[in-house]
Structure 1
Amino acid sequence: AYLQTEGYYVDPETAEYAEMLRTRPEARLLFSASRGISKEDMEKAVEYIELLKLKHNK
């Protein structure tokens, strides 16, 4: 397994996804709350938020 001694995320794929969230203005709060969760969990959270946005924009 990949082990990183610096930064929030041990998995490089998760770190990359978190960086994408960090740089999206509408996702900054989610990024700040995502420390310690998996990439899959972050993706599910983003999908859910996008679904809610669609629901409320109708």
Structure 2
Amino acid sequence: MTVSAADKMQCAERELKYRRRIYVRLVERGKITQALADRELELMDAIAEDYRKQVAQERLV
């Protein structure tokens, strides 16, 4: 099975969207700190951005 950059980008985008929803509740319940939630979102957004750039570059080739 081949996994393309576009597949990985879509997965990272879905994960980012999910985390944005769930982290709000986790912070409200005291399960994680806001700082940790912010950092995790920043990291996942950076991963998604890497794949966005890779997909854009592949489309130019």
| Structure with the largest fraction of helix | 2
Same fold (TM over 0.5): no
TM-score normalised to structure 2 length: 0.43
TM-score normalised to structure 1 length: 0.45
Instruction: Choose 1 or 2 for highest CA Rg.
Output: 2
